[in-house]
Structure 1
Amino acid sequence: MPACDFTRRDLLRWTALAAAAGPLALASPARAAEADRGRPGDVLPVNLELVTLAEDHAVITWYTGLPGTDDGLGRMQPAPADGEIIYGTHPSRLNRVARGISSNTAYHYVELTGLEPGQTYYYQARSRGRAASPTPFTLISGNAVGTSPYGLDTEVGPFSFTTPQPPPGKYLFSIVLCNDLHMGETQAGLVGGQPQYIGITQELGLPPYPEVMLQALVEDVRRHKPSYLLAAGDISAEAVPSDLSRAGQLLDGFGDYGTDYFVTRGNHDRAHTGDPYSTCRVGQWQGNDCFHDGFFSRNKLTYFSRDLSGLHVIGLDTYDKPGNGGDAGALSADQLAWFRADLAKHAEQPTLVFGHHPLVMQDSAFPITAGSSLQADQATTILNDYAKTPGVFLHHAGHTHRNKRTVSPIAPNVTQMEVAAVKEYPGGYSLLRLYTGGYALNFYKSRSELARRWSERSRQEIMGYWPQFALGASVADRNMMAKHDLSHLKRPNNHPEHP
């Protein structure tokens, strides 16, 4: 949920805005399109999204359902069908074809490969000969399907995107950025205790969705051959020891903790009280701290810095404080002093910072509350320090469960990247690719059939409006390239030359 602290008062304010927003019916976002374009028994392709856009490839997804049906969540019942994308460099010559990773599915995932950097392409997605319509944006100004508005007035395209240039220089290595695993959670989308806004649960007979999504991620990222993985908090739903242990077991499929992958604490991982936590160490601020036991048992501190192949990585504990998890994140006075000193000590070294709460939160379709980000005075202090630390180029955060790129005028050379949750729609991770002259960030949805199935089901959170918050208002909120001097980084041992 938005910052995990979306309250009843916030919801009432937002619902009033949504009701006034226009054509998207509250009960079912796809209903208008179904009525216009479908007949009972037809297969209707909807929810088209350009998810990933890199210099040489793109990933496009959509859903096929049966018009006139309802799965109980306000969504068409799934209808397996074929899926293909026809595309080309001119809208009247779509002379190339790409097909999905599954040949007969309701959850379509097609990757276009061999694209040319800086080239404009036009495309149309089809199932059973019918063109797919984009995910509708009614609460926000945005574009789910392209880097230009081309084709949006037709609803079925063709749509258009222009591939970026690759980062300058020689490829070095890549890092997976992810967050909000919520291991142990059983309902997604619960809002302020309001029963009329139902939580989305996993389908009967299928594995728990946090496990489905994390396992798919770990299996998926292997194709990129990344060197490291950073998980920025909310590893668990409520810091139950067995859930923390299960998250660790699945992450171990990537590599060794503390060498290949690293985690930080989120507000859901805070110290708790009660019998499930009684065997864990006494928390510094409250209750019993099972997260500390699970991931930092050999260390006194829950924050750290490491040098990874020449890259300075700083992991922050952004809930280093007492609280119930719904308030603003904060660093303890000791941690903030350590962080500032560490930045100053490595001022010129290429540096990546990751932690659960974003420094700031902007441009949300939903209400922005104090709990949406880090404590304001600390965020200002950190941004001022970033302005004096030329090596810092990226701050990765989770917590908001959305894809959003922010650049502050205080520290314009630092990209602040919020990455969508692993555990629900759009369900995936960002890949950071480092080159000697810059870097690229690209978001990927997890690809397994079960992951795509849950992701599409969980997009119905917040009465189906969830994609307008979580996907990212523009392609640039989930895919970007920037120049930065990274020439002093080293390629890890036994790492391939290309991602």
Structure 2
Amino acid sequence: MRCCFSAHLPALAALSAFPGPCEVLRSGARLAPALLRSASAAVQRARSHHPDDLIAVNLELVTLTEDRAVITWYTGIPGTDDGLGHPLPALTEGEIVYGTHPSRLNRTASEDRPTAHHQVELTDLEPGQTYYYQARSRGTAATPTPLHLVRGNAVGTSTFGFGSSGGPYCFTTPQPPPGRHLLSVALCNDLHLGETTAGLVGGFPLLRGVPQQPGRAPYPELMSRALVEEARRRGADVLLAGGDISAGGAAHDLGEARRILDGFGAHGEDYFVVRGNHDRSRDNAGFQSAFPAGDGGPGYFARDLGGLRVIGLDTYVKTGNGADAGGLGPEQLAWFRARLREAPEQPTLVFGHHPLTVRDSVFPVTRGQQLDRRQARAVVDAYASAPGVFLHHAGHTHRNKRTVLSRAPHVTQQEVAAAKEYPGGFTLLRIHSGGYALNHYKAGDLAARQWSERSRRVAAGLWPHHALGRSVTDRNSVTAHDLSGITRRS
């Protein structure tokens, strides 16, 4: 299956010149023996190290709300290699020491069991408070995921601690959204059921993809199930899946996606799905059979959820190979404009697969990365005349990115990273009467965390520069907006 970044081959070729954790192989025929040789050598090197030796790396402040923070990192055995340029896992304890002054880290949060894939959640934080923290495993301080290509920050809301090795680092909690909480919506996309290798770029064999480890569950199924479980655990009332549900539109894969998503609730009531370019088929019958629009109509719809209008768009109503620009078609665009004109003040959330605009990408932005420009402009113009619209959720780019639409500044476009691979999760939209918060969560299941760590080596190990979000606010934000017309979900 071609990656949606297949149009970026020249840029990826240039990026591959940067030192990365992946050893580049010239053909798939050499991959298996190379992995075996590397794994055997890694075992021998691991035996030569002291059992207490470890490295703690890839520290990330994933989630930041007004009262909690979720922090992840990885511990490995130094000098080892799992065959993909990554150290073998070192199972050990993990803890966060933190406080309100860098010299007084007087609070501790720890895990309840040894692991190499650490995830620690800080709770009972105060809104608007600055905290300093250090992540440790067996006394070794974890170092951040480097985001130097995008001048990003994976670990905090300031650069405090970047001059040291292991921090402490710093973040400031936001204020909560104004008003009372009404409902929570899980935003996800790019499940890619049926895919077997992450990060394949068609026509460019030097950038090999990352497969799942032998004997483990297929990663799209694993990550989708973990997403459903985590979304429920985090209190989501509704789930919106924004396209590329399958890797190629096969009926079997769409059916499996339906079975997994049914674990969240009832389709058309508790969760809603739109089509992406990877879900295309000649007659679209497979997608409509798995996820009927409800009235037997086309793959776009509007639903009223207690005063919240949810509009789902099919952004690939066209013929093509999936690598070109998205398209709504004139009929859907006219329908969309009419829906907004009917009630321009009604609180409205729109979701579709292709973004309206793609900014600040580490990869060159081509037509295939977004909706057709003329149609995107028409959508934004419609938003400018509909003050009730507050959020446009998109996938396709496989990254976390928050963009305020300049011609409709009351609307935020939130691109959400792919569910199927690193960082691997969803964004929780918490709607309050006076505003909303967007918070990204990784899937907490251990097997999902293992795959997330393994798949960070997509694009020769440069994937975090693109996918995580260059700043904490690209995956965690709070916005004021009058949403008092929505009723509390029972």
TM bracket (short chain)? over 0.9
Amino acid in structure 1 at the alignment position of 2:246? S
- Picking from 34, 38, 57, the partner of 1:46 is 57
2:22 maps to which residue?
27
1:409 maps to which residue?
406
2:374 maps to which residue?
377
For the residue of structure 2 that corresponds to 1:213, the secondary structure is: helix
Shift of residue 139, structure 1, vs aligned partner: 1.2
Separation in 2, partners of 1:220, 1:409: 33
1:427 maps to which residue?
424
1:271 maps to which residue?
281
Cα–Cα, structure 1 residues 125 and 336, in superposed 2: closer, same or farther, change >3 Å?
Answer: same
Amino acid in structure 1 at the alignment position of 2:377? T
Correspondence 1:185-196 to 2 at 5 A: 185-196=195-206
Is 2:395 aligned against 1:392?
Answer: no
Correspondence 1:261-340 to 2 at 5 A: 261-272=271-282, 283=283, 289-296=285-292, 299-340=296-337
2:159 maps to which residue?
149
Shift of residue 367, structure 1, vs aligned partner: 1.7
Separation in 2, partners of 1:240, 1:27: 32
Shift of residue 28, structure 1, vs aligned partner: 6.8
The answer to whether the 8 Å contact 1:329/1:357 transfers is yes
1:13 maps to which residue?
11
The answer to whether the 8 Å contact 1:2/1:400 transfers is no
Amino acid in structure 2 at the alignment position of 1:43? L
Worse-superposed segment, 47-56 or 72-81:
72-81
Task: Identify unmatched segments of 5+ residues in structure 1.
Answer: 30-37, 273-282, 494-499
Amino acid in structure 1 at the alignment position of 2:91? P
- Picking from 245, 250, 253, the partner of 1:243 is 253
Query: TM-score normalised to the size of structure 1?
Result: 0.90
1:362-388 Cα distance to aligned partner (Å, 9 max, x none): 101112111000000111111111111
Separation in 2, partners of 1:44, 1:404: 30
For the residue of structure 2 that corresponds to 1:340, the secondary structure is: helix
Is 2:422 aligned against 1:447?
Answer: no
**Identical aligned residues as a percent:** 60
For the residue of structure 2 that corresponds to 1:230, the secondary structure is: strand
1:347 maps to which residue?
344
Shift of residue 249, structure 1, vs aligned partner: 0.5
Separation in 2, partners of 1:386, 1:74: 46
Amino acid in structure 1 at the alignment position of 2:348? T
1:203 maps to which residue?
213
2:76 maps to which residue?
65
The answer to whether the 8 Å contact 1:2/1:366 transfers is no
Worse-superposed segment, 53-62 or 210-219:
210-219
Separation in 1, partners of 2:147, 2:2: 17
Separation in 2, partners of 1:15, 1:66: 30
Shift of residue 448, structure 1, vs aligned partner: 0.4
Separation in 2, partners of 1:465, 1:225: 33
1:149-185 Cα distance to aligned partner (Å, 9 max, x none): 0001113100000000001111111111100000111
Separation in 1, partners of 2:213, 2:122: 31
The answer to whether the 8 Å contact 1:98/1:112 transfers is yes
1:270-296 Cα distance to aligned partner (Å, 9 max, x none): 114xxxxxxxxxx2xxxx531122212
The answer to whether the 8 Å contact 2:22/2:457 transfers is no
Shift of residue 78, structure 1, vs aligned partner: 1.3
The answer to whether the 8 Å contact 1:3/1:373 transfers is no
Task: Identify unmatched segments of 5+ residues in structure 2.
Answer: 25-45
Cα–Cα, structure 1 residues 161 and 374, in superposed 2: closer, same or farther, change >3 Å?
Answer: same
Separation in 2, partners of 1:151, 1:289: 54
1:34 maps to which residue?
none
- Picking from 244, 258, 268, the partner of 1:234 is 244
Cα–Cα, structure 1 residues 318 and 392, in superposed 2: closer, same or farther, change >3 Å?
Answer: same
Separation in 2, partners of 1:386, 1:3: 31
